């Protein structure tokens, strides 16, 4: 029989245990081992059964069990202590409070953002709340957790997907199977936002055809940080509308667009609701994690036009100033693009948004650059136009993004495209194994491994202890891999009697290499299978074998990805090698937490430069793993020759097959000649001293860099704080700042066709200039209707190549000397020749206004 409706009945906890409810519903338990220990202590066997889910554990306890617990004074005292610890965690001033105190106050006494809204289509916080597919979601989860640790006042905004992302299993043939277990929010660590009368609060949105989309809002509590998740599965909706939030990245273009409307527009409405219900301050800054939430800007423009009477252009300035956009992918398929007709259907005609004419919306997402496609609405492009500040997620990805989007800033060199970068990081308490914390506590006398100098004394830690810790973590992974392999084979139809072999696969003493990630083609899951015989020899080497633990999900619609998985699985199924290589289905946070600590080497071989950052290798490094990776993403930035190995890339080899051959051969060579020999090179005590040196070096030098605490501080200082200040400069009664900036932009854009450099003269150096000599530059320019203080006239100098292209440029402003009739002006200035060699300079004119975050922002420049 099938139930027509299912719901979870929540336990009522007896009084001495009520704090357990709070401890279970604040997701801090997911990164706080003492809280998890407390739950485990209740009933270790049940704790395993409910897969370490505190909410499920509590509802699995009988009234008698609860009464017994309530009468156990030792236990209730431990609950009280845990609750006191949580309360202290939630209220004590942290890094952010100290940092904010040190900032200058603006004219209204504001020093730092009172609230920052963080929008993301997915959040990976714990396996208990499966609302993520991969790196983007895990990063968002780590961002919230770290903001909580640092006291940064973030509020997360996302969607609640009833079936989350899919669960992966394999069939007999090794083909990926997807299942979509339905989640019951009542059985999850979520609470529904309700009105004072107890009825659920509702967010509504208009859909085409006169339909209305209703959504409820669930709140998860991530330490200090609330996370609001919109859910369209509510009774007032028609069937199609109920399904909008059914699956993460499911459905076609229309469903995706409606999800993104709910996330962006509905998300802003959920924030207003949250403020109304709780008195929380409205966000000073809006951060969109990838382009999916971009419509949040549309809703805010709408709000300002309706409540403040601003024009579209004025509201746009106020919105842009306070918006941060992070781009996450250089892969075109990773960017959401919709047909203009679909946008018009949702934002035009009867569905027009007051204050945001659909023509203007379409312009925000138009691909108006060489190579762009007419009739397409590009969410990343809209993200860049709606956010005054934008970033990529590693230095290399910054470079790639500036190149990718340079068409939006014609006339500027790529280096000046206003997209900066903040390299991703990972949340140590989530990803670092307890044994590493215990090692630090015992030998370094601290568990604060996030301090900049935390690992400085690691050279004093006995190497025996480090090696023993790694061995234990490797053994733990081996156990986990055996358990999972057996379970997977059962699902694949094998009988238990056939599966004895799974008890002996892998070996806790063998060099363990991990590879786990989503399976888009650019990640090249099967590169290691390029020469299967050679891989076999490495696996079966009698002296220095390696073992491989592999995992990864393919998007359900990606047949190619599924074929790659099948190829991998078939190789690993071979009785000759199956004790040395496993493919573990259903890569998720729970598996990942065993995987990273257990691996000696973390392998990554993407097609450069498509890996924007990558974070799994960082998690491995924090557990003393060494990276073996293509120089892409973060590894390009922080590989230093001693913290792992760089797989040489065949950049520029056009033929993909040949490129794969070359890079795979380089990978095998590295393992054979460097990695394995070093791992098995043991001293008299059985310790691989050279290997341990690399581990120690990694922990000491890489740890502080790869932390999410470093990343979140970077976001606060480099992006959130400036965005908040820019936003404050725009608002205030009547929004004079926004009006003035919008008027300036309109004026400059109208005048720009008349702006030009007419003539440049220079003097001061002879025919053979020498370093240190001063060059006098005089420029005659036409500014049309602009006044001299509305532009910046610059001399730009640098190294010139044979075709006169300038590199390593520096710009210096010239000063206004005098004005002539007809909008003509003279500017002049001196600069010293500070470098030798081929030198060149030019003169250019740029818009100038304190409201601009960068010189290139408007995409306007008049070069000589
Ligand atoms: C860290 C992590 C990812 C992202 O790893 P990348 O190296 O960025 O591909 C994906 N899934 C899970 C479960 C993770 O823990």
What CA–CA distance (Å, rounded) separates 847 from 826?
17
Boundary residue ending a domain (63, 91, 119): 91
Check whether 2 has a pLDDT greater than 70.
no
**Distance in Å, CA 605 to ligand 1 centroid:** 14
785-806 pLDDT, tens per residue?
A: 999 999 999 999 988 888 888 8
**Distance in Å, CA 502 to ligand 1 centroid:** 26
Nearest-atom number in ligand 1 for the CA of 588 is 13
Q: Kind and range of the H or E element at 325? A: strand 323-326
**Distance in Å, CA 207 to ligand 1 centroid:** 35
Kindly list the distances between the CA atom of residue 226 and the CA atoms of 204, 284, 407, 757, 782, in Å, as whole numbers in the listed order.
Answer: 21, 16, 38, 53, 54
**Distance in Å, CA 66 to ligand 1 centroid:** 38
What pLDDT does 8 receive?
Answer: 61
What CA–CA distance (Å, rounded) separates 367 from 860?
18
Which string of DSSP letters, residue by residue, matches 617-677? Answer: HHHHHHTT-EEEEES-HHHHHH--SSSEEEEP--TT---HHHHHHHHHHHHHHHIIIIIHH
- Mean of the pLDDT values across residues 561-573? 97
Is there a single domain that holds both residue 684 and residue 572? yes
Pocket test for ligand 1, best of 290, 432, 592, 599 (most atoms within 8 A of CB): 592
Nearest-atom number in ligand 1 for the CA of 523 is 9
Nearest-atom number in ligand 1 for the CA of 426 is 1
Q: Give the confidence band of 839 by pLDDT, cuts at 50, 70, 90.
A: confident
Give me the residues paired with residue 777 across strands: 762, 829
- Whichever domain contains 506, its CATH number is 3.40.50.2000
What CA–CA distance (Å, rounded) separates 290 from 326?
5
| Cα 239 from chain centroid (whole Å) | 33
**Distance in Å, CA 830 to ligand 1 centroid:** 52
617-675 pLDDT, tens per residue?
A: 999 999 999 999 999 999 999 999 999 999 999 988 999 999 999 999 999 999 999 99
| Residue with tokens 């926004």, as numbered in its chain | 738
Residue range(s) defining the domain that contains residue 585: 452-704
Strand-pair category, 601-604 with 626-630 = parallel
Q: Is the residue at 445 inside a domain?
A: no
Check whether 187 has a pLDDT greater than 80.
yes
Q: Give the confidence band of 65 by pLDDT, cuts at 50, 70, 90.
A: very high
Show the CA angle centred on residue 56, arms to residues 54 and 57, nearest 5°: 60
**Distance in Å, CA 788 to ligand 1 centroid:** 52
What pLDDT does 259 receive?
Answer: 98
Percent of the chain clearing pLDDT 70 (strictly above): 99
Nearest-atom number in ligand 1 for the CA of 614 is 8
Q: Which residues line ligand 1 (CB under 6 A)?
A: 134-135, 138, 517, 587-589, 592, 614-616, 619
What angle, 0 to 180 degrees and rounded to 10, lies between the N-to-C axes of helices 63-71 and 73-91?
80
Kindly list the distances between the CA atom of residue 231 and the CA atoms of 164, 184, 193, 218, 234, in Å, as whole numbers in the listed order.
Answer: 12, 12, 11, 7, 7
451-479 pLDDT, tens per residue?
A: 888 888 898 899 999 999 999 999 999 99
Q: Is 708:145 a contact under the CB 8 Å cutoff?
A: yes
**Distance in Å, CA 516 to ligand 1 centroid:** 7
**Distance in Å, CA 137 to ligand 1 centroid:** 9
**Distance in Å, CA 603 to ligand 1 centroid:** 13
Domain count, the chain: 4
**Distance in Å, CA 440 to ligand 1 centroid:** 25
Is there a single domain that holds both residue 147 and residue 169? yes
Nearest CA to ligand 1 atom 6: 614
Other CB atoms within 10 A of residue 37 CB: 14
Nearest-atom number in ligand 1 for the CA of 613 is 8
Q: Looking at residue 459, what DSSP letter applies?
A: G
Pocket test for ligand 1, best of 616, 617, 618, 711 (most atoms within 8 A of CB): 616
Pocket test for ligand 1, best of 133, 138, 591 (most atoms within 8 A of CB): 138
- Mean of the pLDDT values across residues 7-32? 88
Check whether 423 has a pLDDT greater than 60.
yes
Q: Give the confidence band of 75 by pLDDT, cuts at 50, 70, 90.
A: very high
Is there a single domain that holds both residue 657 and residue 609? yes
Is there a single domain that holds both residue 178 and residue 285? yes
What pLDDT does 545 receive?
Answer: 98
Q: Is the residue at 215 inside a domain?
A: yes
Check whether 10 has a pLDDT greater than 70.
no
- Mean of the pLDDT values across residues 268-282? 98
What pLDDT does 861 receive?
Answer: 97
- Mean of the pLDDT values across residues 430-438? 97
Give me the residues paired with residue 363 across strands: none
Which string of DSSP letters, residue by residue, matches 186-199? Answer: GGSS-EE-B-TTSP
What pLDDT does 4 receive?
Answer: 61
**Distance in Å, CA 594 to ligand 1 centroid:** 13
What pLDDT does 451 receive?
Answer: 85
Q: Is the residue at 386 inside a domain?
A: yes
Q: Is the residue at 432 inside a domain?
A: no
Nearest-atom number in ligand 1 for the CA of 616 is 7
Boundary residue ending a domain (60, 91, 122): 91
Check whether 158 has a pLDDT greater than 80.
yes
Is there a single domain that holds both residue 364 and residue 478? no
**Distance in Å, CA 839 to ligand 1 centroid:** 46
- Whichever domain contains 807, its CATH number is 2.60.40
Nearest CA to ligand 1 atom 4: 135
Pocket test for ligand 1, best of 31, 135, 430 (most atoms within 8 A of CB): 135
Two tokens, residue 322: 């306070």
Which pTM does this prediction carry? 0.97
Q: Is the residue at 132 inside a domain?
A: yes
Nearest CA to ligand 1 atom 1: 616
Pocket test for ligand 1, best of 124, 136, 597 (most atoms within 8 A of CB): 124
- Mean of the pLDDT values across residues 530-557? 97
What pLDDT does 7 receive?
Answer: 56
Percent of the chain clearing pLDDT 90 (strictly above): 89
What pLDDT does 439 receive?
Answer: 95
Is there a single domain that holds both residue 193 and residue 229? yes
Strand-pair category, 601-604 with 511-516 = parallel
Is there a single domain that holds both residue 795 and residue 721? no
Is there a single domain that holds both residue 812 and residue 720? no
Task: Give residues with Cβ within 8 angstroms of 106, minimum separation 6.
Answer: 725, 728
Q: Is the residue at 292 inside a domain?
A: yes
Q: Is the residue at 100 inside a domain?
A: no
Q: Is the residue at 440 inside a domain?
A: no
Q: Give the confidence band of 772 by pLDDT, cuts at 50, 70, 90.
A: confident
Is there a single domain that holds both residue 196 and residue 125? yes
Nearest-atom number in ligand 1 for the CA of 135 is 4
**Distance in Å, CA 552 to ligand 1 centroid:** 9
Nearest CA to ligand 1 atom 8: 614
Check whether 551 has a pLDDT greater than 60.
yes
Q: Which residue has the higher pLDDT, 45 or 455?
A: 45
Is there a single domain that holds both residue 324 and residue 463? no
Q: Find the Cα–Cα–Cα–Cα dihedral 853, 636, 431, 502, rounded to 10°.
A: 150
What CA–CA distance (Å, rounded) separates 767 from 759?
21
**Distance in Å, CA 858 to ligand 1 centroid:** 36
**Distance in Å, CA 792 to ligand 1 centroid:** 45
Pocket test for ligand 1, best of 31, 127, 134 (most atoms within 8 A of CB): 134
Q: Is 420:398 a contact under the CB 8 Å cutoff?
A: yes
**Maximum Cα–Cα distance for the chain, whole Å?**
97
287-322 pLDDT, tens per residue?
A: 999 999 999 999 999 999 999 999 999 999 999 999
Q: What is the mean pLDDT of the chain?
A: 95
Q: Find the Cα–Cα–Cα–Cα dihedral 586, 592, 597, 598, rounded to 10°.
A: 0
Phi then psi for residue 544, to 5 deg, are -130, 65
Show the CA angle centred on residue 275, arms to residues 274 and 281, nearest 5°: 130
Is there a single domain that holds both residue 407 and residue 485? no
What CA–CA distance (Å, rounded) separates 144 from 224?
9
| Cα 173 from chain centroid (whole Å) | 34
Pocket test for ligand 1, best of 122, 331, 516, 522 (most atoms within 8 A of CB): 516
Is there a single domain that holds both residue 568 and residue 515? yes
**Distance in Å, CA 796 to ligand 1 centroid:** 43
Nearest CA to ligand 1 atom 3: 135
């Amino acid at each position: 029989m099938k139930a027509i409706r299912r719901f979870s009945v929540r336990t009522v906890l007896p009084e001495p245990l009520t704090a357990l409810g709070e401890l279970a519903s604040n997701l801090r338990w997911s990164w706080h081992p003492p809280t998890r220990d407390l739950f485990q202590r209740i009933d270790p066997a049940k704790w395993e059964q409910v897969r370490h889910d505190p909410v499920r554990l509590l509802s699995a306890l009988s009234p008698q069990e609860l009464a017994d617990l309530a009468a156990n004074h030792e236990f209730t005292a431990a609950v009280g202590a845990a609750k006191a610890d949580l309360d202290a965690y939630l209220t004590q001033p942290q890094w952010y409070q100290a940092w904010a105190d040190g900032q200058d106050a603006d004219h209204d006494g504001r020093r730092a953002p009172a609230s920052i809204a963080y929008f993301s289509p997915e959040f990976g916080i714990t396996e208990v709340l499966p609302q993520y597919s991969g790196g983007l979601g895990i990063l968002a989860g780590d961002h919230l957790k770290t903001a909580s640790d640092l006291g940064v006042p973030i509020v997360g905004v996302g969607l609640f997907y009833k079936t989350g992302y899919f669960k992966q299993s394999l069939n007999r043939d090794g083909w990926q199977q997807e299942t979509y277990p339905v989640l019951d929010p009542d059985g999850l660590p979520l609470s529904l936002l309700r009105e004072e009368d107890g009825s659920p609060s509702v967010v509504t949105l208009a859909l085409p055809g006169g339909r209305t989309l209703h959504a409820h809002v669930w709140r998860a509590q991530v330490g200090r940080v609330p996370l609001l998740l919109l859910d369209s599965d509510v009774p007032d909706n028609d069937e199609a509308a109920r399904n909008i939030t059914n699956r993460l990245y499911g459905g076609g273009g229309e469903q995706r667009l409606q999800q993104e409307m709910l996330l962006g527009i509905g998300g802003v409405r959920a924030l207003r609701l949250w403020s109304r219900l709780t008195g929380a301050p409205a966000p000073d800054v809006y951060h969109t994690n990838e382009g999916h939430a971009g419509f949040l800007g549309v809703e805010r423009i709408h709000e300002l036009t309706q409540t403040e009477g601003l024009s579209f252009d004025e509201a746009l300035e106020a919105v842009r100033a306070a918006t941060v956009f992070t781009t996450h992918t250089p892969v075109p398929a990773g960017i959401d693009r919709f047909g203009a007709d679909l946008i018009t259907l949702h934002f035009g005609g009867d569905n027009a948004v007051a204050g945001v004419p659909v023509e203007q919306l379409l312009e925000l997402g138009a691909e108006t650059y060489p190579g762009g496609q007419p009739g397409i609405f590009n969410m990343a492009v809209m993200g860049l136009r709606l956010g005054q500040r934008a970033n990529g997620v590693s230095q290399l990805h910054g470079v790639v993004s500036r190149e990718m989007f340079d068409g939006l800033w014609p006339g500027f060199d790529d280096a000046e495209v206003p997209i900066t970068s903040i390299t991703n990081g990972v949340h140590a308490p989530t990803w670092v194994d307890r044994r590493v914390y215990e090692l630090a506590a015992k030998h370094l006398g601290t568990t604060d491994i996030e301090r900049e100098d935390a690992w400085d004394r690691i050279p004093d830690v006995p190497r025996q202890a480090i090696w023993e810790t790694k061995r234990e973590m490797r053994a733990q992974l081996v156990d986990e891999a055996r358990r999972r392999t057996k379970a997977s084979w059962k699902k694949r139809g094998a009988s238990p009697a056939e599966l004895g072999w799974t008890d002996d696969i892998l070996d806790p003493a063998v060099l363990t290499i991990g590879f786990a990630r989503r399976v888009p083609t650019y990640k090249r899951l099967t590169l290691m299978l390029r020469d299967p015989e050679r891989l076999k020899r490495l696996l079966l080497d009698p002296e220095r074998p390696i073992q491989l633990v592999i995992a990864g999900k393919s998007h359900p619609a990606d047949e190619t990805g599924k074929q790659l998985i099948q190829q991998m699985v078939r190789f690993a199924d071979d009785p000759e090698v199956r004790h040395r290589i496993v493919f573990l289905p259903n890569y998720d946070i729970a598996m990942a937490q065993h995987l990273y600590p257990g691996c000696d080497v973390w392998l990554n071989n993407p097609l450069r430069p498509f890996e924007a950052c990558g974070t799994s290798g960082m998690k491995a490094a924090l557990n003393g793993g060494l990276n073996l990776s293509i120089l892409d993403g973060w590894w390009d930035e922080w590989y230093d020759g001693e913290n792992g190995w760089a797989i040489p890339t065949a950049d520029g080899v056009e033929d993909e097959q040949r490129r794969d051959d070359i890079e795979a051969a380089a990978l095998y060579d590295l393992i054979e000649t460097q990695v394995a020999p070093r791992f098995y090179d043991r001293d008299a005590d059985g310790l691989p001293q050279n290997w341990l040196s690399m581990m120690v070096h990694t922990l000491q030098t890489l740890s502080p860099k790869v932390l999410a605490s470093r990343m979140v501080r970077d976001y606060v200082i480099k992006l959130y704080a400036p965005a908040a200040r820019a936003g404050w400069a725009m608002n205030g009664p009547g929004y004079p700042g926004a009006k003035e900036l919008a008027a300036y932009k309109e004026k400059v854009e109208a005048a720009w066709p008349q702006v030009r450099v007419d003539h440049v003269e220079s003097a001061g150096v002879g025919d053979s200039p020498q370093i240190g000599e001063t060059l006098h530059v005089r420029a005659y320019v036409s500014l049309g209707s602009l006044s001299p203080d509305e532009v910046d006239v610059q001399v730009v100098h640098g190294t010139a190549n044979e075709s006169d292209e300038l590199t390593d440029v520096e710009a210096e402003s010239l000063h206004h000397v005098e004005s002539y009739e007809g909008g003509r002006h003279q500017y002049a200035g001196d600069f010293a020749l500070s470098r030798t060699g081929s030198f060149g300079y030019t003169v250019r004119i740029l818009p100038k206004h304190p409201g601009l975050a960068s010189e290139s922002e408007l995409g306007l420049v008049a070069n000589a």
